[in-house]
Amino acid sequence: MQTALGPSTASRVVANRQVRTARAPQVVAASSRFADVAQAPPDPILGVSEAFRASTSPNKLNLGVGAYRDEDLKPVVLSVVKKAETKIVGRAENKEYLPIEGLDAFRKATVDLLLGAGHPAIQEGRVAVVQSLSGTGSLRVGSAFIARFMKGATVYLSNPTWGNHRNIFGDENVEWKYYRYFDADTVGLDFKGMMEDLTAAPAGSVVLLHGCAHNPTGVDPTAEQWGAIADLCKERNLLPFFDVAYQGFATGDLDKDAFAPRLFVERGLEIVVAQSYSKNLGLYGERVGALVMVLNDKEAATRCLSQLKRLARALYSNPPTWGAKIAAEVVNDKELFDEWKGEMRGMAGRIERVRGELKTALDAKYPDKDWSFITRQIGMFSFTGLTPAQASGGRRVDNMTNKHAVYMTRDGRISLAGLNSAKVDYLANAIVDSVRNA
C-alpha cells in the first residue's frame, strides 16, 4: 500500500535491506545497544490504576490514585475551570513561550494563596517564585536547587511519605533519610519520635513537611505541634521544605490549610514550598504548580530566582501556558475565586461524608475494633492499617485486591475520593474480611 507519506513500511523495509545488502554484505544480528537495560518496576501508585483497568471484575473499585471523583465515581472538571477556559479562549491569545519563571499573573496568584494577599514578605520582595510542572516538577526544581546550592545536605522525609519523594531527591543524588512520623499503635502522629529524629538531624539539613493532609497517612500535626516543629527548625538551623499539594482540599478552606507554612514565616523562618493545583483546582493533567522560596532578604530572593530560572531552563526551558492561565483567571477574579471556594468545600465535604459513612459501616460490622482513626484523618486518604504482610503473616492488601477487586496501594492507603455512598458497604465488608481472615 502506498500512503501520502510515501511507500508503505513493507516496501521501505525491502528497499533498506537492499541498500544494506549492497553496502555491507555481512548480516548483523538484530539486537539493541540497550538490550541490557533492566525493566523498571511499575510505579506503586499509578501501577494500581493500570491493574484496575485490566480487571474484569464487575465490583472493581479504584482507591489507588489520589484524584477526585464525583458521587458517580467520574472525574470532575470544576465549573470555575470551564468558565475560566471560556474567558481565555475569548481573548484569542497567542501561543508564545512564557518567560522561564512563568506567567506573572499566575505567580502572583500562587504566592497570594500561599501567604495571603498583601503579606509583608510579598510587599518587601522577599519571595522567589517559578511556575513549574505541578507539584512534582516544582519539587524536582527544589531538589535540583538543594543539590547545587546545599551540597552535602540531607533531606529528611516523613516515614511514610508520598512514594515519589524518594525518587525526586534520589534522582538528583540528594541524600535522604526518614524521620519517624506515623505511630501504628495509635494510628496517629509519633510526635515524640519525629522531634527526636529532627533534633538529631545535622544543622543545615532540609526537612520535607506536608503542608496539610499528609499523604499517605491523613495525619497532621496539631497547631501546637506545628509551633514546636517550627521552633525546632529554627533552633537546629533546619530548612523547612513544604510540599503543599492539598491546599483547600483538606478542610475546604484555603487559609486554614496554609496554616503551617504561614506560621513558619511568621516565626521568621525561611521556607521553600512546592505548590500544586492538581487537586484543589482539578487540573491534574495540565501540570500547574510553583516552587516558592520565602526568604528574609530581598537580594537573596532575587539571586535565588535567577538560579531557579537557570535550573528550569535546562530542565524544561519554560512552563506550559494553559493551566497557569486558568489558575490565574480563577484566583485573580473575585467572582470566580468565591465560586472556587464553594466547589472546594463541596469536594472536601463529599470526602468527609464518605469517611463518616465508612466508619459507621465498620463500627456496625466489627464493633470490637476502634475505627475512629478513619474520621480523625483528613484529606483525600485513609491509612487503613492494612498492610501486605501483617505480623500475623496475613496478606491483607492482596486479599482486598485479589478477592474483593478493591485496588489500593500496598502501604494500606485508600483514596476516599474514589468511594461513594453506594460502595461503602461493599468496601467495609472487604476490609472486615481482610482484617479477620487474611
Ligand X SMILES: Cc1ncc(COP(=O)(O)O)c(C=O)c1O
Report the catalytic residues: 162, 243, 279
Q: Is 134 in the site for ligand X (CB under 6 A)?
A: yes
176, 155 contact by CB (below 8 A): yes
User: What span, in angstroms and rounded, lies between the C-alpha atoms of 76 and 181?
Assistant: 32
Q: Is 289 in the site for ligand X (CB under 6 A)?
A: yes
Contacts of 54 (CB under 8 A, 6+ apart): none
* Total residues at interface with ligand X (CB under 6 A): 13
The least distance separating ligand X from the CB of residue 187, rounded to whole angstroms, comes to: 19
CA distances to 25, 38, 39, 277 from 247, in Å: 65, 38, 36, 8
Report helix, strand or coil for 157.
strand
Quick one: 160 or 289, whose CB is closer to ligand X?
289
User: What span, in angstroms and rounded, lies between the C-alpha atoms of 219 and 216?
Assistant: 8
Q: Give the residue, chosen from 162, 169, 264, 407, that forms a contact with ligand X under the rule CB under 6 A.
A: 162
The least distance separating ligand X from the CB of residue 395, rounded to whole angstroms, comes to: 26
Quick one: 278 or 318, whose CB is closer to ligand X?
278
The residue range among 51-59, 131-139, 181-189, 406-414 that interacts with ligand X, by the rule CB under 6 A, is 131-139
The residue range among 23-31, 128-136, 198-206, 357-365 that interacts with ligand X, by the rule CB under 6 A, is 128-136
Q: Is 66 in the site for ligand X (CB under 6 A)?
A: yes
The least distance separating ligand X from the CB of residue 244, rounded to whole angstroms, comes to: 8
Q: Is 62 in the site for ligand X (CB under 6 A)?
A: no
Evaluate the omega torsion of the peptide bond into residue 319 and state whether it is cis, within 30 degrees of 0: no
User: What span, in angstroms and rounded, lies between the C-alpha atoms of 56 and 61?
Assistant: 11
Q: Is 418 in the site for ligand X (CB under 6 A)?
A: no
DSSP letters, 249-280, are TSSS-HHHHTHHHHHHHHTT--EEEEEE-TTT
Q: Give the residue, chosen from 136, 318, 321, 384, that forms a contact with ligand X under the rule CB under 6 A.
A: 136
Q: Is 243 in the site for ligand X (CB under 6 A)?
A: yes
**3-class secondary structure per residue, 361-414:** HHHHHCCCCCCCHHHHCCCCEEECCCCCCCCCCCCHHHHHHHHCCEECCCCCEE
The residue range among 130-138, 185-193, 226-234, 311-319 that interacts with ligand X, by the rule CB under 6 A, is 130-138
The least distance separating ligand X from the CB of residue 393, rounded to whole angstroms, comes to: 31
Q: Is 217 in the site for ligand X (CB under 6 A)?
A: no
Report helix, strand or coil for 158.
strand
The residue range among 86-94, 132-140, 388-396, 421-429 that interacts with ligand X, by the rule CB under 6 A, is 132-140
The least distance separating ligand X from the CB of residue 65, rounded to whole angstroms, comes to: 8
Residues 8-27 as x/- pattern, contact with ligand X by CB under 6 A: --------------------
Q: How many residues does the chain have?
A: 438
Quick one: 399 or 415, whose CB is closer to ligand X?
415
What are 18's three cell numbers? 537492499
User: What span, in angstroms and rounded, lies between the C-alpha atoms of 75 and 338?
Assistant: 22
The residue range among 7-15, 16-24, 29-37, 133-141 that interacts with ligand X, by the rule CB under 6 A, is 133-141
Question: Measured at CB, which residue is nearest to ligand X?
Answer: 135
Q: Is 194 exposed, middle or buried (0-12, 13-18, 19+ CB in 10 A)?
A: buried
Q: Is 399 in the site for ligand X (CB under 6 A)?
A: no
Report helix, strand or coil for 162.
coil
The least distance separating ligand X from the CB of residue 43, rounded to whole angstroms, comes to: 11
Q: Taking the mean position of all CA atoms in its chain, how far away is CA 202? A: 27
Q: Give the residue, chosen from 110, 276, 384, 420, that forms a contact with ligand X under the rule CB under 6 A.
A: 276
Q: Is 245 in the site for ligand X (CB under 6 A)?
A: yes
Whose cell is 472493581? That residue is 60
User: How many Å is the Cα radius of gyration of the chain?
Assistant: 24
Quick one: 244 or 361, whose CB is closer to ligand X?
244
Q: Is 382 in the site for ligand X (CB under 6 A)?
A: no
The least distance separating ligand X from the CB of residue 347, rounded to whole angstroms, comes to: 15
323, 286 contact by CB (below 8 A): yes
Q: Give the residue, chosen from 135, 240, 282, 323, that forms a contact with ligand X under the rule CB under 6 A.
A: 135
Q: Which residues bind ligand X (CB under 6 A)?
A: 66, 134-136, 162, 210, 215, 243, 245, 276, 278, 284, 289
